[in-house]
Amino acid sequence: MTTTTTTDGTTTIEAPADLPVIRMTREFAATPAQLFRAHTDPELFVRWMGPQDSTLEIDQWDPRTGGSWRYTGEHGGHQYAFHGCFHTVREDRIVWTFTFEGIPDGVCLETFTFEGLDGGRTLLRSDSVYESFEDRDGMLSSMEPGVNDGYAQLDRLLAAGEV
């Protein structure tokens, strides 16, 4: 088990040696319902997801079990896009597939859960299962700035009462 803590000290990222999985945990000053909204409301989602100074645009967004999604992004002059389908959408759990269109046949399966804690806080867990260790390790090496920035942006939206 390789465990990393992100540079801003708030998110724990685990990459087990025996499973091609990335596990992240992070607490938020939010209710589970607010975290669910942040992950499913398209207008909120584009305001926090991704690296700072990136711009996201929703192309397709149908956040229900059996729906699908696609968004495009721009960061530092680079264009990119992601898409997938929503396998499960529940107040406490979202499962979706995730493809970065730069690697069109690559896909991972991601599960997000929102667990209420004392003091009005919520533990977000995300588990991403990749098809190989190579795919997992490729993502692991590049994801951290986007994760840090995105969750910090979500913290700010929550603190501002905008979620």
Beta-carbon contacts of residue 44 (< 8 Å; ≥ 6 apart): 37, 38, 157, 162, 163
Which range touches a second copy (CB under 8 A), out of 6-14, 47-55, 77-85, 117-125? 77-85
Which range touches a second copy (CB under 8 A), out of 4-12, 32-40, 84-92, 147-155? 84-92
| Whole-angstrom distance, CA of residue 110 vs CA of residue 53 | 25
Is 67 an interacting residue with respect to a second copy (CB under 8 A)? yes
Is 85 an interacting residue with respect to a second copy (CB under 8 A)? yes
Is 63 an interacting residue with respect to a second copy (CB under 8 A)? no
Least Å distance, CB 85 to a second copy, is 4
Q: Across the strands, what pairs with 3?
A: 14
Q: What contacts 24+ positions apart, CB below 8 Å, involve 41-44?
A: 44/157, 44/162, 44/163
Out of 3, 52, 55, 88, name the contact with a second copy by CB under 8 A: 88
Least Å distance, CB 156 to a second copy, is 32
Sign, CA torsion 152/56/79/143: positive
Instruction: Compose the 109-148 pattern: x for residues touching a second copy by CB under 8 A, - for all others.
Output: x-x---------------x-xxxxx---------------
Q: What is the dihedral of CA 4, 149, 71, 113, to 10 degrees?
A: 50
What's the token pair of residue 2? 């390789």
Binding residues for a second copy, per CB under 8 A? 18-21, 60, 65-68, 83-88, 93, 95, 97, 99, 105, 107-109, 111, 127, 129-133
